Amino acid sequence: MIQRIQSLFILIAAGFGVLLFFVPIISINYDNSAITFNATGYVAEKSWYLVLLSIICVVTMFTQLFMYKNRKKQMLTGKISICLWILWIFVFSLFVYLHYNSYTTAKFSIHFGAIFPVLIIIFVLLANRNIKKDEELVRSIDRIR
């Protein structure tokens, strides 16, 4: 059923994932100019591997949202989604670090979009916890029969 609380958590996490495409995450300021990064790389120039990884992460969350008939697969998809978001954080950090390291006098500033990947992971963890509770409830009812 799509109206469960875990579905709401997954939908909120997916919303944050979609917002990452439009919200700036980090800016690198150098010589009176700035490079702004979002989930696709630079705002001016897109990085294909960040775009692909971001799309895969968001699609995985939407897949988890609509797997409500099979709770075990839904939990597995949630774990895969968490691993993908951790990988995304690592790849994005490496991407920014490589560009930050190329400018010697650069300073970077973190925007409010930087918290979104952490919030996504938290909401998917909350969803998985509630899915597990539902699975335990169904098993306990089956034992009573």
Report pLDDT for 101: 72
Neighbours of 90 (CB within 10 A): 10
Q: Are 113 and 25 in contact (CB under 8 A)?
A: yes
CA distances from 126 to 21, 37, 79, 114, 134 (A): 23, 28, 11, 20, 13
**Residue type at 73?**
K
Model's pTM, two decimal places?
A: 0.86
The values of phi and psi at residue 27, to 5°, are -120, 140
128-134: long-range contacts (C-beta < 8 A, 24 or more apart)?
Answer: 128/6, 128/75, 128/78, 128/79, 128/82, 130/4, 130/5, 130/6, 130/9, 131/6, 131/71, 131/74, 131/75, 131/78, 132/75, 134/4, 134/6, 134/71
Report pLDDT for 115: 93
Q: Where are the alpha helices (DSSP H) in the chain?
A: 5-19, 48-65, 71-102, 116-144
Identify the segments of the chain with pLDDT beneath 50.
none
Residue spans per domain, the chain: 5-139
